Structure 1
Amino acid sequence: MALVYAQISGQEVLRDYKAVVGPGATIAGPAADELRNGSLPDTAVDWLTTNFFKTELELGRCLRLPAEGPCECDLYLTCAKFVTTPEYAPRLRARREVEQTLALDAAQRGWEREVERHRCTSDRIDKLLADLGQPAHPEEEAENTSP
């Protein structure tokens, strides 16, 4: 395994890699058992080792291999295994703004399915922020609490 780690560039990527695929990592998902018991094919380990930096999502990682088809990254927001914390609120708010901007652009182009998709993601982020007890707009919260 040391040879696998040695091929990864950057200490930060190495740390993240070990946290996901290293011994004792807390992980869930279809490939979790394969990672834990070392039965992941060498080609998959090679791909993950070489391309681990590409697996990062906005709030986590996607270990889907190219042979498994395209990643559906937005699904992690509704995945039963997805967890977030108040520390991610700024990223959630930024993503919400992007989704709202994309919905407006799609509406101007008449792409109703894209409007629906972006609004659903924005609504899901609103729910996550509410569940975290975080305001969707922190500047409004500051105005409401000022003397």
Structure 2
Amino acid sequence: MLPIYLCEDVVNQLIYLEKLISNYILMEELDMKVVCMTTNPHEVLEVQKEFNYSGLYFLDIELNSDIDGFKLAEEIRKKDPRGYIVFITTHSELSYITFERHLEAMDYILKDSPEQIPFRIIECIKEALALYSSIGNTVQKTLTLKIGSC
């Protein structure tokens, strides 16, 4: 199961994201679940401790907290180096920071194009699940064969 984390400081946008993602998961019967839906970035880090595998993170950048979305992503990367991070923001001018800080964001979705948000989120879900599944399948297909006493 691929855990999904949502961190957005505007409650109605947070609810919209959760409904969009949960409905898509339900319709497609995907092996993923929203495990954290919060306005508090520290809560994401607390919930993340409960899972020992990669997650999919949808993060706003401006979080009205002592840490912003970029700092949250840095903390996520420390514990989940292969996690899938998607920024959803109004700040197109800050996209370069994802490269400066080596955050390896899967996508940078702008809220200024609301008609594109559902499509982009669904594409991120599909891509993250495909990558997550392929990693699992690779591990399952590994076979070690030892012949003789060497």
TM-score (norm 2): 0.24
Structure with more helix by fraction: 1
Relative contact order, higher structure (CA 8 A, sep 6+): 2
Q: Work out which of the two has the higher radius of gyration on C-alpha atoms and give 1 or 2.
A: 1
Structure with more strand by fraction: 2
